[in-house]
A and B are shown apart, each in its own frame.
Chain A
Amino acid sequence: DAGVIQSPRHEVTEMGQEVTLRCKPISGHNSLFWYRQTMMRGLELLIYFNNNVPIDDSGMPEDRFSAKMPNASFSTLKIQPSEPRDSAVYFCASSLEGLAGYEQYFGPGTRLTVT
């Protein structure tokens, strides 16, 4: 299996621009998680999906952030408009359901820089 795939790996954009991060979970996994990692705040859960349905988006920082999962093999995290404080590494992770769902498999991350 190829593991969790994220694209792009690096993104540099200017403040005010729209940014879209993409994730392909491991085939057969039912749950998908988006995290943000910064030096100041560590690893934060932004949102997670079960069977393509958003379950908890309480970690999404503002209305500028949105996430979708149109099918079992693809998810996006969008920031519009982007701000310098959004600079971070964004990780996608996937897992099976139930107890096994706590074993999350992480992608390599997207390093976002907003200037």
Chain B
Amino acid sequence: GQQVMQIPQYQHVQEGEDFTTYCNSSTTLSNIQWYKQRPGGHPVFLIQLVKSGEVKKQKRLTFQFGEAKKNSSLHITATQTTDVGTYFCGGFKTIFGAGTRLFVKA
């Protein structure tokens, strides 16, 4: 069946370091969404990517959609403590990766 795999499961960084999470699908995606969930909170939509090779930026966050539309990445430059949380990718509309939990040490 359709699956979305996400790596790494956890990432510990020092504040100011960069962070990247990767999302891979077993089949081609028509689009992909990224969500952030703060500890104890609910998922909040960040962005949707639709086009092959698409790159979108939101301040320190850079989102990429692979050329084959089977993978995506989220890169955070110079992490801050406010970036703490779990980042999920979503594909096939209702299938989500298990998430990457980001810990930031001040």
**A and B physically associate:** no
Residues of A at the B interface (CB closer than 8 Å) are none
Residues of B at the A interface (CB closer than 8 Å) are none
